[in-house]
Structure 1
Amino acid sequence: MAPRVLVSDKLSTTAVQIFRDRGIEVDYLPDLGKDKEKLLEVIGQYDGLAIRSATKVTEKLINAATKLKVVGRAGIGVDNVDIPAASRKGIIVMNTPFGNSITTAEHAVAMIFALARQIPEANASTHAGKWEKNRFMGIEITGKTLGIIGCGNIGSIVATRGVGLKMHVIAFDPFLSDSRAEELGVEKVELDELFTRADFITLHTPLTDKTRNIIDATAIARMKPGVRIINCARGGLVVEADLIAALKSGKVAGAGIDVFEVEPAEYNELFGMENVVATPHLGASTTEAQENVALHVAEQMSDYLIKGAVSNAINMPSITAEEAPRLKPFVKLAEVLGAFVGQVTEDPIKEVEILFDGSTATMNTRALISAALAGLIRPQVSDVNMVSAPIMVKERGIIVAEVKRDKSGVFDGYIKLTVKTEHRTRSIAGTCFSDGKPRFIQIKGINLDAEVGQHMLYTTNADAPGIIGLLGTVCGENGVNIANFQLGRNRPGGDAIALLYLDAPFPEKVLEQVRSHKSIDSAKRLHFDVGSV
């Protein structure tokens, strides 16, 4: 059955056609996002939901969306999506961070010019028939210091424009590397230094707990007298009451505000102030940007629903369409390794270490880690997937470590999963051969080569004669057909393991019979979802 997508906000008809061209059923209902009750009523029918800002994807809506796999936001901000709730339900949330980057950056630069030369007020005065040339004395921006808070996609574009305008550009961003700053031609500084040095301050950061109210009375007190502040990012980054007080006192010479704490902002004390340029969230409002983000979100959602490719996801590692075919077998391998340990471990897990050896170390390991964690906790939480697994693991206080190393053995690449509980440490390693099927190559430090089947029996015992005969006899007497039988031991007379690949689930009464035998230390019935391999 073809995936089905709901477009609940106004989106380009070209974007809607992209879904149809990819073989996806799409319902274009651009006003449905405003009708919460009707949306709640129908959302259970859809695999994907494409939105802009009008639709509010709340926890209540997510709980009703029983089939939903992906939410695509045409634009950067995802404030209208409950991301934690979506993650817990295993729903991917995508945005389009590049479609309107240039447009938003250009709007911020336009604000810089408008504030420097008082263009809006001068325009209104001139249209009113006044000629107040002396009233609108501006300042040059050449040589001034531009402070950028957040130097990501949009901030970096503003930085290059500022450098081109012969401004001295300084930037605060915890994730800005020295090499990237040098490439952009900006000086990397701490936030306090930016406040004290900048003539213009422009914000280009998402709204998070760390960035909320990043500019308040305390921050403004550190700034230069006559500083100008631009916010084309998110309402809530600036404390509006503190900004208003500073504008009235003259500490802040002007402000360019495109986003507000409450939107739509039909009333705001900033409105009507002569030293404020206010626009109604126009940062991304150009014909090109609106078309771009719509096309991007349709392509991204289609790639995921059809190919499994993940791009620009907020809560999931990206998997490009090019790497998806190569990565898919190893995603399944990682999930199987996690599922093995999850099924044989009864004590609470405290730590997980995932080793990527050889070629696997060059892959998208974030996706592989997510898959391993999903397999690990699925025996306890059945409805977990690659999106929700990292959240659930974190909530349980499990420490996850990643290790990468160059090829160290006979295999081109393999994955090893080690789990620690309070009482023991378990490990298992696996790889994929040319057929793309996962194989176990080491369990408990014991080497073997075992094909993974849907139904399996795992036993541990002391290395001694008769185990093969014992297991074969028990299975034969109870009508259990063995498709494959693999043994391994660490040394003669030491620890040994057996893995039986079966045609059907191992019966519970037969399992008890195996466990009761004096030669068997433990026996576990295993199940693996290998249908898609």
Structure 2
Amino acid sequence: MPKVLISDALSDAAVQIFRDRGVEVDFQPDLGKDAARLAEVVGGYDGLAIRSATKVTAAIIEKAARLRVIGRAGIGVDNVDIPAASARGIVVMNTPFGNSITTAEHAIAMMFASARQIPAADASTRAGKWEKSKFMGTELTGKTLGVVGCGNIGGVVATRGVGLRMKVVAYDPYLSADRAKTLGVEKIETVEELLTRADVVTLHLPKTAQTANLLNAERIALMKPTARLINCARGGLVDEQALADALTEGRLAGAAFDVFSEEPAKDNPLFHAPNVVCTPHLGAATAEAQENVALQVAEQMADYLMNGAIQNALNAPSITAEEAPLLKPWVAVCEALGAFAGQVTENAIKEIEIDYVGAPGQLNLKPLTATVTAAMLKPLLGEGAVNMVSAPLVAKERGVAISETRRDAQGAFGSYVRLTVVTEKQTRSVAATVFSDGKPRFIQIKGIDLEAEPQPFMLYTTNEDTPGYIGALGAKLGALGVNIATFALGRASKGGEAIALMGVDEEVPAAALAEIVALPQVRQAKALRF
């Protein structure tokens, strides 16, 4: 039974979801605040469910020997070291949809609060003043709303803006023309153009190396003096000192911030600037949203631990519960293909091409391709250096191009996967399929047909097709004490290149391999492990 640690406050209903799905739960809602204690105990769990209080650092992950999944109840994962988790093969999930409405509504509320100076007017009225003329506001109807980042939350804000009869423009490199049309917004090609046109700018982006200080002093200077800036996304997207200066100098009408570069924000340049509305990161702070994300993270983690389904992962391809059993036999095929190619390839890999023919071509290819890539890179980089989660990133870092092709059923087997590896010196391919017993079979190597089931230990040779080779090889293996369990042969043509793939009882030692290579007909010999 998998075991999950909940180190932040989740609802009783979320805890019960884990139990109902067959997952053992250890609910310690205050543990996340004690990093030292968390590091001591985290190694005993398969899953870690958190909110924002728990900081899952590289040091914590180093201690998490059996951890398979980290689930964040919420959108932001600034408190999780995703690269460290990926390197260990730990799936990191969040719940991007559970608080979309709540956060979008808060952004709209902040927009109104700024436009009508509601917090300042409230404080003035409570102080016994009646300063109607001082708090002259501005209408939003007919104004231009600029949405920077038009994903889940930004999309909701955009539709709310349309409902308020605002002209909505959006900047998002990933926003398609069809999606923009559906939302009723105009897509803007650059953030600079959006800033010059918008009366209200609202940010809905993650904080990354590319988006940190996205609105710096130069870009803030592009905004209209009558414009207002809303940030209910992530702290650090805006140069807060530059914004405070613009407000103080009257170069901007107002701002409303729910998030700050350092939180909890005890002091901040914006606190001392005029016409600013500040709230303490309340975007997701509704009872409905907190319950929704807690339930969602419990469901997602339980589905992964019990069924292999992956939803809303930030470092792994998504796999539905329905897809998982269909993928399983083809994952085994992809593992075998990648392991074979990785062990026989001797030169730097430039490109891998994967053809999914027939049945596997109808499946979700991302987990299959990740499996092939990881299995191929392991022999080259070391067992602990790469896994299914980190493989795409590791391949990219090493300049390995990866391509996928779906093809209709063809050939004698109908459905199979072919892996082609392009190196600096040659191009080679290997293909495998699933037999009726559910196990993988190699069906072609280097364009030569054969049939071989992967074995824990195997010997692969390429040789000249000459009489007496099989007898010579068998005699040599017998003399070396290597027992053959299975034997598959194939050749390109009579007298041409031939291959042999043998299952053996034990790994062929290096000294024995050297004697096999010394046989006059042998061109190459490799000891393989699967």
Residue number in structure 1 paired with 2:228 = 228
Residue number in structure 1 paired with 2:421 = 419
> Is 2:495 the partner of 1:493?
yes
Q: Give how far 1:512 is off.
A: 4.3
Q: Give how far 1:274 is off.
A: 4.8
Residue number in structure 2 paired with 1:515 = 517
Alignment of 1:194-343 (within 5 A): 194-271=194-271, 273-343=273-343
Residue number in structure 2 paired with 1:531 = none
Alignment of 1:169-184 (within 5 A): 169-184=168-183
Residue number in structure 1 paired with 2:464 = 462
Q: Give how far 1:473 is off.
A: 4.4
Q: Give how far 1:201 is off.
A: 0.5
Q: Mean alpha-carbon deviation: is it higher for 39-48 or for 198-207?
A: 39-48
Q: What are the ranges of 5 or more consecutive residues in structure 1 without an aligned counterpart?
A: 529-533
Q: Mean alpha-carbon deviation: is it higher for 501-510 or for 448-457?
A: 501-510
Partners of 1:474 and 1:510 within 8 A in 2 = no
> Is 2:96 the partner of 1:97?
yes
* Residue of 417, 429, 432 corresponding to 1:430: 432
TM-score normalised by L of structure 2: 0.95
Residue number in structure 1 paired with 2:378 = 378
Letter in structure 1 aligned against 2:206? P
Q: Give how far 1:311 is off.
A: 1.0
Partners of 2:258 and 2:281 within 8 A in 1 = yes
Q: Secondary structure at the match of 1:252?
A: coil
Q: Give how far 1:47 is off.
A: 1.7
Q: Give how far 1:199 is off.
A: 0.6
TM-score normalised by L of structure 1: 0.94
Partners of 1:88 and 1:391 within 8 A in 2 = no
User: Against the structure 1 CA distance between its residues 273 and 464, is the aligned structure 2 distance closer, same or farther, given a 3 Å change threshold?
Assistant: same
CA-to-partner distance for each residue in 1:90-128, whole Å, 9 max, x for gaps? 211111111111110111111111122222222222233
CA distance in 1, matches of 2:230, 2:415: 50
Residue number in structure 2 paired with 1:356 = 356
CA-to-partner distance for each residue in 1:25-66, whole Å, 9 max, x for gaps? 222111111112111222222221111111111112211222
Q: Mean alpha-carbon deviation: is it higher for 194-203 or for 306-315?
A: 306-315
CA distance in 2, matches of 1:310, 1:473: 50
CA-to-partner distance for each residue in 1:347-387, whole Å, 9 max, x for gaps? 33232222223333332222111101111122241123201
Partners of 2:115 and 2:137 within 8 A in 1 = yes
Percent of paired sites with the same residue: 62
Q: Secondary structure at the match of 1:335?
A: helix
CA distance in 2, matches of 1:413, 1:108: 51
* Structure 1 stretches of 4+ moved >6 Å: none
CA distance in 1, matches of 2:185, 2:166: 10
Residue number in structure 2 paired with 1:3 = 2
Q: Secondary structure at the match of 2:62?
A: helix
Letter in structure 2 aligned against 1:463? D
Q: What are the ranges of 5 or more consecutive residues in structure 2 without an aligned counterpart?
A: none
CA distance in 2, matches of 1:467, 1:303: 53
CA distance in 2, matches of 1:453, 1:277: 66
Residue number in structure 2 paired with 1:440 = 442
CA distance in 2, matches of 1:67, 1:215: 41
Letter in structure 2 aligned against 1:177? S
Q: Give how far 1:478 is off.
A: 6.2
Partners of 2:8 and 2:32 within 8 A in 1 = yes
User: Against the structure 1 CA distance between its residues 232 and 494, is the aligned structure 2 distance closer, same or farther, given a 3 Å change threshold?
Assistant: same
Letter in structure 2 aligned against 1:279? T
Q: Mean alpha-carbon deviation: is it higher for 393-402 or for 44-53?
A: 393-402
Residue number in structure 2 paired with 1:123 = 122
Q: Mean alpha-carbon deviation: is it higher for 475-484 or for 314-323?
A: 475-484
Partners of 1:414 and 1:431 within 8 A in 2 = yes
Q: Mean alpha-carbon deviation: is it higher for 452-461 or for 356-365?
A: 356-365
Partners of 1:226 and 1:250 within 8 A in 2 = no
Residue number in structure 1 paired with 2:452 = 450
